[in-house]
Amino acid sequence: MDFVSDALFNGKRFRALTVVDAYTCECLAIRVDQGHQGRAGGRCDDRLLFQRGGPPGKIRVDNGPEFISRALDHWAYINRVTLDVSRSGKPTDNVFVESFNGRLRDECLNTHWFLSLDDARIKTEAWRTDPTRADLTHT
């Protein structure tokens, strides 16, 4: 999991939480919101648990304040998920999500004008689920 920042047409900032499966190189979710607290990862993962049939064994995150929180630690503990925190200043520790975020920026965020958070959610989800978009394995 990682975050990408962007802005609406009026300059208001938003962040997108991206969840990429390192095994399949598939983007499982993009969650767009004004601000993400430590619970953002847990709320996003709760939905994925039902879609994917259970929790993953490990989630790789960076050491940003959104991921270093009691709420996410608590969620991981309850769901028996190991949080694998990457080393500070080492984006290569989370290479699949970093590569995905670059493509998200190039192919979606830099090519759209977002009028609202809902508009950003719709456009990023349409991009994520577009069947013509190649997997990370084809980059």
Which pLDDT tens digit goes with each residue over 26-81?
888 899 998 765 455 555 666 676 677 777 888 888 877 777 778 888 888 988 98
User: Which two three-digit tokens encode residue 108?
Assistant: 């979606």
Nearest to 34 by CA among 12, 60, 56: 12
User: What is the tens place of the pLDDT at every residue in 83-137?
Assistant: 888 777 776 677 788 889 999 999 999 999 999 999 999 999 999 999 887 655 4
pLDDT at 52: 73
pLDDT at 72: 84
pTM of structure = 0.81
Domains of the chain, by residue range, sit at: 2-138
> What superfamily in CATH does domain 2-138 come from?
Ribonuclease H-like superfamily/Ribonuclease H (3.30.420.10)
Report the DSSP pairing between strands 26-33 and 13-21: antiparallel
1-37 as b/e: b if 16+ CB within 10 A: bbbbebebeeeeebbbbbbbeeeeeebbbbbbbeebe
**Are the C-beta atoms of 44 and 24 separated by less than 8 Å?**
no
